Structure 1
């Protein structure tokens, strides 16, 4: 393996605390029942609309009122994108290990580009990230393999020589379709309906922590340099 690509929310970066803060603030403003933090975490990978629907369960996802609340949520998030957000514990040493060996790492996400770029800038990762592929860059988003192929092309490494790490079935499906080595980040924001049978995702490897992820990548990419 010659490169490592990550999903963003719930895989590389632990963004849930900021989503929890905004969603629960919206509940308080509307005098609605506070949505539990753990439930919000399970919806992060489903996008802003799914998280906002937790506050307004009576509204259809296409309802203009819900879409207006979704835009307000995005505006609030964009204004304070990294208040309680950081890389998952142990991820900084992993990225440093990759960089020390000149192994490129990048991101393939379904998060909009303006939010992704703002988040990377807030965490001083912009210059370190070798490639960032967002929905605006492709005609088909994950689980379609097009974003994976584009990321591999931009770093000039064959897809089959790339690792893709993700915490949602669509991540694994996209990686597999592109013939990448797939790693399921079970420490991430696993959707409720898919968390009970992780083997069904058909990932090449399942890790329960960033430490296990580091060990897996160590075996695949970061092999010891012989003196």
Structure 2
């Protein structure tokens, strides 16, 4: 980060960055397979798909049934998940303290996720972050989701900050691409749902983070 850059806002991906939502997402997937009378899967092996969105999870979870309509599966999946989105989901270790510290220091904070806004906002509320996060930008808030820069730019607009004064943090390549295209500083969260075989060091992020607390170190 250049000496002249002052970070005024931090934008976070949600699933895999702030919240470990895989248990509830994969529970909804398991339920959907059961009602289709399909055998259970190794859900530990599907964990990294939790940041791919509903269709990504469906594709991974129903790879053995390409004949089933994906949009119908997605609709049922989202309905089930929407009813049980905060059963076993929790903030990642260190996230709560990091958010509170940044907020107390006057940093502007927001979520920029590809999860649809009607599901993202309740997750933020359930985590108790309504007073900490200034806005939640969902995958349907703008015309294009990440890796398009539009959601990041919209978050910066709502926060009243120049993109060059914002840090985008995420656990997926599309988070980094969206942030870079918007002109933000970027950081890859390696504690999230990085897929096997992927190397966050190749994503082009300004830095790699091993723990949420390191975000504070990057800013300072």
TM-score, length-scaled by structure 1: 0.87
Compared CA separation, residues 139 and 190, structure 1 to 2 (3 A): same
Using the TM superposition, give the Cα deviation of residue 19 of structure 1 relative to its aligned residue in structure 2, in angstroms: 1.3
Return the alpha-carbon distance in structure 2 between the equivalents of residues 23 and 137 of structure 1.
Answer: 25
Return the alpha-carbon distance in structure 1 between the equivalents of residues 216 and 69 of structure 2.
Answer: 48
- 1:169-227 CA distances to partner (integer Å, 9 max, x unpaired)? 1110111111211111111111345x1x32221111112233xxx12x22333x4xxxx
Return the alpha-carbon distance in structure 2 between the equivalents of residues 114 and 74 of structure 1.
Answer: 11
Give the 3-state SS of the residue equivalent to 2:133 in structure 1. coil
Within 5 Å, which residues of 2 pair with 1:68-217? 68-192=72-196, 195=198, 197-210=199-212, 214-215=213-214, 217=215
Corresponding residue of 2:22: 16
- 1:91-124 CA distances to partner (integer Å, 9 max, x unpaired)? 1110110111111111111110110112112222
* Worse-matched range after superposition: 200-209 or 74-83: 200-209
Contact 1:45 1:191 in 2 (8 A): no
Using the TM superposition, give the Cα deviation of residue 135 of structure 1 relative to its aligned residue in structure 2, in angstroms: 2.6
Return the alpha-carbon distance in structure 2 between the equivalents of residues 201 and 104 of structure 1.
Answer: 25
Give the 3-state SS of the residue equivalent to 1:182 in structure 2. strand
Return the alpha-carbon distance in structure 2 between the equivalents of residues 129 and 79 of structure 1.
Answer: 23
* Worse-matched range after superposition: 99-108 or 15-24: 15-24
Give the 3-state SS of the residue equivalent to 1:5 in structure 2. strand
TM-score, length-scaled by structure 2: 0.89
Using the TM superposition, give the Cα deviation of residue 64 of structure 1 relative to its aligned residue in structure 2, in angstroms: 6.4
Return the alpha-carbon distance in structure 2 between the equivalents of residues 130 and 38 of structure 1.
Answer: 33
- 1:77-96 CA distances to partner (integer Å, 9 max, x unpaired)? 00111001111111111011
Contact 1:4 1:162 in 2 (8 A): yes
Using the TM superposition, give the Cα deviation of residue 66 of structure 1 relative to its aligned residue in structure 2, in angstroms: 2.7
* Worse-matched range after superposition: 107-116 or 44-53: 44-53
Supply the RMSD in Å over aligned alpha carbons. Answer: 1.8
* Worse-matched range after superposition: 43-52 or 30-39: 30-39
Of 45, 54, 60, the residue aligned with 1:54 is: 60
> Which runs of 5 or more residues in structure 1 are unaligned?
none
Corresponding residue of 2:217: 219
Matched, 1:45 2:57: no
